[in-house]
Structure 1
Amino acid sequence: MFKKQFQVYGVVQGVGFRYFTWKEAVKIGVVGYVKNLSDGSVSVVAQGSASQLDALRQWLQKGPKTAIVERVIELDYLGTQTFDEFSVQR
């Protein structure tokens, strides 16, 4: 299992991005969370196999139809938190 953190920039708040990310993450089978950040971006932390994380990354680069994704930054997740499900955080 791998853990990645994605920062998603663009028009990604107020457009249902967190909900649609949660729905896609559950479909893909990753665990972790999605939350809005104060700078207008969305942070996604996900744990799963390499292929699951690749599928999530590809989806994040497009996002839902309501969003305009300008860029996605991918980093290794260095935190120690473990996850049992995928959740939406405030």
Structure 2
Amino acid sequence: MNAPTSHSADAPQQSVRLTAWVRGHVQGVGFRWYTRARALAIGELRGFARNHRDGRVEVVAEGPRERCDRLLEWLRTGDTPGMVEGVTEIWDTPRGGYGDFSIR
């Protein structure tokens, strides 16, 4: 018998790309470094964190959906350096090309 075609049970393991735009006082406070450390602690995430001229930090993470969700939740909890005023996220398919999680 063939396996069911529904992928809902596989969703937590599905590989995804999360792009999060973090607003607030998030530059000059070690935010990118803490984000990298959190991504590495969560595990199985590749991508980067980088500052933008408008004061936001862009976080790109690729890996299992459940692990990307954990990183996004951390970005939103306020348990970060500085002061996060808001996070906007975009979900997409992974593009690859990242060896680990880096600071840019």
Same fold (TM over 0.5): yes
CA distance in 2, matches of 1:76, 1:82: 17
Q: How many residues matched? A: 88
Does 2:104 match 1:83? no
Matches within 5 A, 1:46-65: 46-61=61-76, 62-64=78-80
Does 2:44 match 1:27? no
Does 2:32 match 1:43? no
TM-score (norm 2): 0.78
CA contact (8 A) 1:21 1:63 kept: no
CA distance in 1, matches of 2:79, 2:50: 14
CA distance in 2, matches of 1:59, 1:40: 19
Q: What per-residue deviation string (whole Å, max 9, x for no partner) do you get for residues 34-72 of structure 1?
A: 0000100000000011110110001111242x3110000
CA distance in 2, matches of 1:60, 1:22: 11
- The CA RMSD over aligned residues, in Å, is 1.6
Residues 52 and 36 (structure 1), Cα distance of their counterparts in 2 relative to 1, 3 Å cut: same
The structural deviation recorded for 1:5 is 0.3
CA distance in 2, matches of 1:44, 1:26: 13
Q: Report which stretch shifted further, 9-18 or 75-84.
A: 75-84
1:73 match: secondary structure:
strand
CA contact (8 A) 1:9 1:40 kept: yes
Where do 5+ consecutive residues of structure 1 fail to align? none
CA contact (8 A) 1:5 1:45 kept: yes
In our comparison, the structure showing a higher alpha carbon Rg is: 2
* Corresponding residue number in structure 1 for 2:17: 3
TM-score (norm 1): 0.89
